[in-house]
Amino acid sequence: MPPIARSFGYRVLSHTAEVIVEIRAENWAEFYRQAACALLTVHSPRPANGTLRKFRVCIDAEGPEEALVSWLNEIIYIVSARRCLPRKIRIVSAGSNFIEAVLFGAAFGREGGIMKEVKAATYGDLKVRRSAHRIMARVILDV
């Protein structure tokens, strides 16, 4: 499982109270992985060297928009409520309306963690589009 690293499968556009994230990938597993990487980039993580923790995430939704928002909000919950910063993401299976993944991350306290809090992924102007070779979406994150 590859570590989370700088990638070109997403773009981050900032605003005062929100950030727009554009995601693009060739398949659903990579799409959800890129979405997670974009979210974690917005969090502007500081080093988190606490105990390694494992989280299993299973999303089953009505459609791709609901799956994407649920996926991102689950990661936001892990970061803000569980105080753990995902460092590796393993997508077990994924499709347009479901994802099963395992996230590995380090717990953080005052010394590490995030510099910018993301409060939620929203449905505002959200549309997941699939073309012959690519899946694309723009999602607004409340910060």
What confidence score (pLDDT) does residue 1 get?
45
Picking from 143, 33, 7, the residue whose alpha carbon sits closest to that of residue 99 is: 33
Most confident of 38-47, 67-76, 123-132: 67-76
Contact 59, 102 (CB under 8 A): no
Could you tell me what percent of the chain has a pLDDT over 90?
A: 62
Q: For 80-120, how does the pLDDT look when each residue is reduced to its tens digit (9 = 90+)? A: 999 899 989 999 999 999 999 999 998 887 666 777 889 99
104 burial type by CB count under 10 A (0-12 exposed, 13-18 middle, 19+ buried): middle
Position 48 pLDDT exceeds 90: no
The domains of the chain, with CATH numbers, are 10-142 (3.55.10.10)
